[in-house]
A and B are shown apart, each in its own frame.
Chain A
Amino acid sequence: MTIAVVVAVLLALVVGATLAPGLQRQRHWRRHVTTLARQHGLDAAETQLLWSLARRLAPHLPVLVFVQPSLLQRGVAELGADARAIGAIATRLYAP
């Protein structure tokens, strides 16, 4: 029992140590995405939609969604995102 608990704790520590930087990086990018989305006037739902697309289509650099309109189009084409909602977001993100 004790051994099992110890093993579980160690495993948790290993998993935690492994996942922690990723989670931290994810939080870092989420903060940037959220900040930019807010500055572009996106509401919470739009921001969530944008983040989910960014995370899946540009996981290493999610802010690319703000400079790559084609990513949003891929979101619609490949991930089945709501085209209308995406169109509304794009209009605001890439305004001159």
Chain B
Amino acid sequence: MRRNREAHRCRMSFAATLEYLDRLDPPQQVECLVAALLEKDAVVQGGAVQRLLAMDPKRHDLVVDHFPNLLPAVRKQLEPHRQDLLATARDKIVSGRDARRIGAFQLADALGDLGAAELLAVGVDDPVDEVAAVAIEGVATRLASYAIARRQALLEGNKTSGARDTRQEAAWQALGTALRRCPLARCRELCGVLFDLGPVVLSLFRSVLMTQPESGMSQTFVQALGHGPGEGAAAFVVALATDLDHRVQRIGQQVLRDRRDPAFAKAVAAEVAALRDERAVQQARTPRELPWWGPVQHVATEVDTRSATRLVVLLRDAKVNPDKRQEMLEPFLLHPDPNVQITVVDAIRELKCSGGFVALGKLLASGSTGTGVRAAAQLVIDAAPPQRIALLTPLLGSIDPELRRLAVREVSKVSFQHYLERFDSMSKNQREAAAKALAKIDGGMLDRIADEIGSFDPSRRLKALHIVELLDAGAELRGPLLELLDDPDKRVRATAVRIVEVTGSREGVQVLLGALADPDRRVRANAVEAFEELADPRYVQMLVPFLDDHDNRVRANAVKALWHLGWPRAREALLGLMVAPEEATRLSAIWALGEIDLPDARALLLARDPAEPSPRVRAKIHELLAGTLGREVRT
């Protein structure tokens, strides 16, 4: 009995109460439902909402009006009626200043999709602060989600990411409206959206910047460019500075001149490096029009490799004088990537180092190694500035063997040049001592001599030959020396014939054979002597005719060579020369007698002395007899 009574007592729900209220007059019923909407009880609110939605559609406006009071759980129950409620809210919003319009805006914000931004934008400049707040936040939230979707599409390589569907277009237009109307106090929220969307939004915003530069939105945006997140700001700043309109350009240029924080600077570097539009690239090459270099110069070493390389090329082609270009390029010399360094060095090379070598010197003295530093060292070597030795000296202690080698070679080269310059004023002993000292410290000295052998100036070739002789390096430099046997300059030929080592070289022998017919007597004399050095008896018959050469030295050399090659008639030929009618021939014959080991040489000299008419020849005879058989220097 008691159980039945309890069941009876609990049989009615709140929904049934609302059904019962149908019996009341409509105004009384509505008053009850509205009162229920004001209660912070989900069952009560939810029941009232459902009842109102089930009534005449005209009653939907009550739900819209009281939307701000509805609990979250109750708001969820509105989803099936979303379209109807949004239509009601739209009517309220567009119809004017409905006193309870905050409900319509909140409902549009809560239930509306991306396209609802268009509706919400109506309230951006609403005099009721709460309405404006809902409207701007609603627009901002939607555009932020659109920005995320757009970025995602770009990341996925969606080529149609730039196109907008109906809802996106509505949101886009709403943003345009909001940007124009936004009150100063609310501009920060929209500014965040601008940064989310990036420079693409400038198609909407540039008209605001151009026509309303003093508006709250313009001022807030420019402030955000100066102090906002570096990456987002940089994208805008570069886009603004490369805009077609000068008023817009000036905004970007001003920020580029004023802002210096590293994050911004690095982002600017990346943005400028990514410029592809030819007009924009041209602007980037004009620092006055696009003063990006201002912030970037301080982070040149931190810019990613690809961007840095691109920026170096831009600077190389910048529309400023070469000195200034080099000055702008130089900070990149200290970039950690060798490829960037090489690009900078190449650019400075193209500019002919017009800006000097201070920065290159700093790199060389930095202790860095690698291909970039090597390129810098090579540039200094190639450009050969007066201070190149000072610039390269720090590399003598480099841990990089290649850098050390470059530096040693260059420093030694200068020493070698100094040696060549002073060569003529040095004594024979000084020449020899200096040559040997240089060869000890300079592993590349023979290369340098070979370079000199190949020079156009015959006096330099001649000096080189003398140094070869001093260093006794004929064997090592045989190749280049062989070429000198056929040198157009007779002094060079003569010297080369004297010192060249042709043993085993068919080509060398052929050149020597040619030298025997040289019109210059010294060349012929030296060629005869060279055949003597070959110590090959097969050459005897070839040398015999030179006993009749018109030059006394050639004849003397020939008789000496034939003696040493074992020609049996050499003694007889020498005796003939000793009694020749010409004084010079007799003098050369006496010299030749001193050069060979003739057993009866002394007797021959003693026999000739009283008969010799020439005092010079006799003096030579006396010299030999006195035992002074030192060789003469013949030139």
A positions within 8 Å CB-CB of B: 32, 35-36, 39-43, 61, 63-64, 66-70, 92-96
Is B417 part of the binding interface, using a Cβ–Cβ cutoff of 8 Å? no
In contact, B32 and A63 (Cβ under 8 angstroms): yes
Cβ–Cβ < 8 Å partners of A35 in chain B: 20
In contact, B39 and A68 (Cβ under 8 angstroms): yes
Q: What are 27 inter-chain pairs, A to B, with CB distance below 8 A?
A: A32-B24, A35-B20, A36-B12, A36-B17, A36-B20, A39-B11, A39-B20, A40-B12, A40-B17, A41-B6, A41-B9, A61-B28, A61-B31, A63-B21, A63-B28, A63-B32, A64-B31, A66-B17, A66-B32, A67-B35, A68-B44, A92-B9, A93-B17, A94-B44, A95-B13, A95-B14, A96-B13
Interchain nearest-CB distance for B303 vs A (Å): 65
A sample of 20 more A-B contacts (CB under 8 A), given A32-B24, A67-B36, is A32-B23, A36-B17, A39-B11, A39-B16, A40-B12, A41-B6, A41-B8, A41-B11, A63-B32, A67-B48, A68-B38, A69-B44, A92-B10, A93-B14, A94-B14, A95-B12, A95-B43, A96-B13, A96-B14, A96-B43
Give per-residue flags for B43-71: 1 if the beta carbon is below 8 A from chain A beta carbons, else 0.
11000100000000000000000000000
Cβ–Cβ < 8 Å partners of A68 in chain B: 35-36, 38-39, 44
In the assembled complex, the Cα of A92 lies from the Cα of B14 at a distance in Å of 8
B positions within 8 Å CB-CB of A: 6, 8-18, 20-21, 23-24, 28, 31-33, 35-36, 38-39, 41, 43-44, 48
In contact, B10 and A67 (Cβ under 8 angstroms): no
In the assembled complex, the Cα of A70 lies from the Cα of B135 at a distance in Å of 32
Main SS class of interface, B: helix
Cβ–Cβ < 8 Å partners of A32 in chain B: 23-24
Cβ–Cβ < 8 Å partners of B12 in chain A: 36, 39-41, 92, 95
Interchain nearest-CB distance for A62 vs B (Å): 11
In contact, A94 and B16 (Cβ under 8 angstroms): no
Cβ–Cβ < 8 Å partners of A63 in chain B: 21, 24, 28, 32
Cβ–Cβ < 8 Å partners of A43 in chain B: 9
In contact, A70 and B14 (Cβ under 8 angstroms): no
In the assembled complex, the Cα of A69 lies from the Cα of B20 at a distance in Å of 17
Interchain nearest-CB distance for A21 vs B (Å): 16
In the assembled complex, the Cα of A63 lies from the Cα of B13 at a distance in Å of 15
In the assembled complex, the Cα of A70 lies from the Cα of B31 at a distance in Å of 15
In the assembled complex, the Cα of A41 lies from the Cα of B6 at a distance in Å of 8
